[in-house]
């Protein structure tokens, strides 16, 4: 099941929140196509520097970019 399907399936349960974080976000595809449309503020966490640099270009609407591992965060 893709992230898009999961979020669509549970959209009633995740509405009403103002912020989200995309953990292990890669280049920000999910953040761009889904999260920034549904939440007022979106943060992005990604351990690979090359991917987070591309995410900064792809999704400039992101509030905070965290360049670290999920475990470290």
CA distance 56 to 67: 11
Distances (CA, A) of 58 to 18, 25, 61: 21, 12, 9
What pLDDT score does 13 carry? 66
Which domains are present in the chain?
3-66 (3.40.50.150)
What pLDDT score does 29 carry? 93
What pLDDT score does 27 carry? 95
CA distance 7 to 56: 23
CA 51 to chain CA mean position, Å: 13
Q: What is the chain's pLDDT, residue by residue, as a tens digit (73 residues)?
A: 566 666 667 766 666 678 999 999 999 999 998 889 888 999 999 999 999 999 999 999 999 999 999 999 8
What pLDDT score does 45 carry? 96
């Amino acid at each position: 099941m893709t992230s898009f399907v999961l979020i669509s399936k549970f959209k009633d349960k995740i509405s009403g929140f103002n912020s989200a974080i995309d953990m292990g976000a890669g280049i920000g595809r999910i953040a761009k196509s889904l999260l920034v449309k549904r939440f007022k503020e979106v943060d992005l966490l990604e351990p690979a520097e090359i991917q987070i640099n591309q995410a900064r270009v792809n999704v400039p609407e992101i509030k905070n970019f965290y360049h670290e591992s999920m475990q470290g965060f």
